[in-house]
Amino acid sequence: MTIDRRSFKVGIIAGVFLVSGIIAGIVFSSRLDWLPSATSAPAETAPPVIGATPPNFVPVVKAVMPAVVNISTTRLVKQGGQMSGQFMDDPFFRQFFGEEFFHRFQIPRERRENSLGSGVIVDSAGYIVTNNHVVAKADEIKVLLNDKREFTGKVVGTDPKSDIAVIKINAKDLPMVPWGDSDKLEVGEYVLAIGNPFGLNQTVTQGIVSAVGRANVGIADYEDFIQTDAAINPGNSGGALVNARGELVGINTAIFSRSGGYMGIGFAVPSNMTRSVMDSLIKGGKVVRGWLGVSIQDVTPDLAKQFGLKEARGALVSEIIPDSPAAAAGIQSGDVITAFNGKTVESTSILRNTVAQTPVGKTVKVELLRDKKTVSVEVKITEQPKDVAQTNDETVQGDGKNTALAGVEVRNLTAEIARQLGLPAGTAGVVIAGVEEGSAAEEAGLQQGDVITEINRQPVRNIGDYKHLSAKLTKQGSTLLLINRQGRKLFIAIQP
């Protein structure tokens, strides 16, 4: 049989294509098993992840919650007073109204005021940290533990200037929360707030650190607050703010609110400040703060240009107190303090808090900018004098001069006074303690309890601002005040 070579070649080529097609079909069919069916939903693409995956907080809560306690306080308040006058001695009126009526007005009655807060066990021997305003003026303190045991608390010491208090219960081997380093806390970190809001024991809320180093909030005298959006409500005061590792980084203290409830802004005293205050209270029953001996002000952009700073930061020294550590070290008026003990000074509040927490007797390095040149000096920190420590309680009387503010008596607005006046947290200024009858201020409508927040459109944050601005007033010029009256802001013009 004769084979056509051309036909043979064509057959071979066709066979090769046939075999290749079969193999390709098998491979394609097997790959179809890896793909979603035509009727299934398209696969979702995972979004990019920035940073770490949110941690599981269950182990943290289980470890911390037993050391967060409920604090309830009782205070006896006397009501009523002595009825006097001719009617008390009139037999007819006594017979008509009865002896019980007169007896009720003669003898002051007592009423119990109860309040709730939180606390954190920081020592297994029974030491508990809370807020000063939780236990202030309390006649009885009860501490309820997570395991339902109840103890009577004894105040070890209080510090209204930082709103921190330490109490102790008679117990041993208690669960405790380890201290964290609040200086290492960063904005954006996860935090948990644990406490007893509205009396709801052992409540946990989660959020992030919104800001650090918040000052001039008007809650306490020494402010370096951690701001968080973890829900904090009345009753959370004194509770724990912990990081994702279960370390105590702050003591929940206050909220910024126009309604009295949570509005997304809460403040906590940093753990480093809390621990320093606690140690002083336990050792000596009072807080010993360091002192540098300077008057300082924040650096504005205009001042930064004048003093050769690239950025508006640091603390500008305006005055040196004689015989102070600063005077001994050679610090001068006009110096800009840029670093203290290795810590960068961003503002006056940071310097003030850092100096206050520096151990008395310690020698620290202070970096200055003087005449646009960097200078370093060493300063030995001493204890803050009593007269300096008490300046925040200072009262300024009307100076008697024929100015718009003559006859007006003011004092610093403390956190306690703000609460009594029903003002929201964060209100700053000076509160009017008295207005002289017949003065221009009284005629303009200024009242006791008003809070002056501005004088001639310049902010008034404290007694120092008030003194500085009121000293500029003239006998003939009118004065424009911005006041806060029970949460309502008003402008008042006073003509001397």
Q: Are 430 and 451 in contact (CB under 8 A)?
A: yes
Q: Does 235 carry a binding-site annotation?
A: yes
Neighbours of 220 (CB within 10 A): 26
DSSP category for residue 223: -
Token pair, residue 214, equals 């918040």
Tokens of 109: 């009655």
Give me the sign of the Cα torsion angle 234, 238, 241, 245: negative
* DSSP single-letter state for residue 67: G
Instruction: Give residue 218's identity as a one-letter amino acid code.
Output: G
Q: Which of 118, 210, 237, 257 is catalytic?
A: 237
Q: What 3-state DSSP class applies to 432? A: strand
Query: What count of residues does the chain have?
Result: 496
| Residue 184 C-alpha from the chain's centroid | 17
Q: What residue ranges in 31-108 does DSSP mark as E strands?
A: 68-79
The single-letter code of the amino acid at 156 is V
Distance CA 308, CA 368 (A): 12
Give the separation between CA 482 and CA 461, rounded to whole angstroms: 12
Q: What are phi and psi of 453, to 5 degrees?
A: -110, -20
Q: Are 317 and 335 in contact (CB under 8 A)?
A: yes
Per-residue burial over 12-31, b = 16 or more CB atoms within 10 Å of its CB, e = otherwise:
eeeeeeeeeeeeeeeeeeee
Alpha helices in 231-324 (DSSP H): 271-284, 301-306
Any known ligand binding at 229? no
The number of beta carbons lying within 10 Å of the beta carbon of residue 241 is: 32
Active site residue 163: yes
**DSSP annotation of 305:** H
Name the 3-class secondary structure at 167: strand
Active site residue 468: no
170 marked as part of a ligand binding site: no
Active-site residue, selected from the candidate residues 163, 229, 450, 465: 163
Distance CA 40, CA 59 (A): 39
90 catalytic, yes or no? no
Quote the radius of gyration of the chain (alpha carbons, Å). Answer: 34
Q: Are the C-beta atoms of residues 465 and 428 closer than 8 Å to each other?
A: no
Given the residues 72, 133, 257, 439, the one annotated as active site = 133
Q: Residue 269 is encoded by which pair of tokens?
A: 């005293």
Query: Apex CA 473: angle with CA 468 and CA 477, to 5°?
Result: 160
Annotated binding residues for substrate, as ranges? Answer: 133, 163, 235-237
Annotated binding residues, as ranges? Answer: 133, 163, 235-237
Q: Which residues are catalytic?
A: 133, 163, 237
